A and B are shown apart, each in its own frame.
Chain A
Amino acid sequence: NAGVTQTPKFRILKIGQSMTLQCAQDMNHNYMYWYRQDPGMGLKLIYYSVGAGITDKGEVPNGYNVSRSTTEDFPLRLELAAPSQTSVYFCASRLSASTDTQYFGPGTRLTVL
């Protein structure tokens, strides 16, 4: 199993550009998450999904969008990138409502200039 994979590893965007961060998992997990991590601030939840076709906002959803058309994939879309979106983005997954452990992808470091 590859676990949770993310692409790209690094990206530099200009203000106003858009991009999609890719996340995939091959563990047949129902729940998937997107977090951002700023220095000294822990992990902030952006969006999450409890299954294909179902998504919901987390703590910091503004400026982002998600979709979940399959169990495996959970892309995060940034529209009109802003410097405040400079961060490290982690995707995570967990098996079901009755399990607690989340497994994380390797992260995407995004810089918006």
Chain B
Amino acid sequence: EPEVTQTPSHQVTQMGQEVILRCVPISNHLYFYWYRQILGQKVEFLVSFYNNEISEKSEIFDDQFSVERPDGSNFTLKIRSTKLEDSAMYFCASSTQEGQGDTGELFFGEGSRLTVL
């Protein structure tokens, strides 16, 4: 069964460093997302990406964050200068297969745990 894959599974970084989290969404999906979850709490929406551009972003997704789809398969989240409060589990998700009807559910990866020291 197709799945969303994320790397790295865990990254430890120093405050102020740049971090790139990588995701390979399910092939032929059209919408891509990043969510974050702080310490087993609420899952918060960060950004959605469609047709090679950001379609929506939350107030959390400030100028320190950026997303990119550098090729046909990868979808990356970059945090330019990490802060302590960026420590969280970051989940990538994708949805809606090209040519099919809108079924609504998102398919999530296993997450990348970011620890900022």
Are both chains from one complex?
no
Binding site for A on B (CB under 8 A): none
Interface residues in chain A, defined as those with a beta carbon under 8 Å from any beta carbon in chain B: none
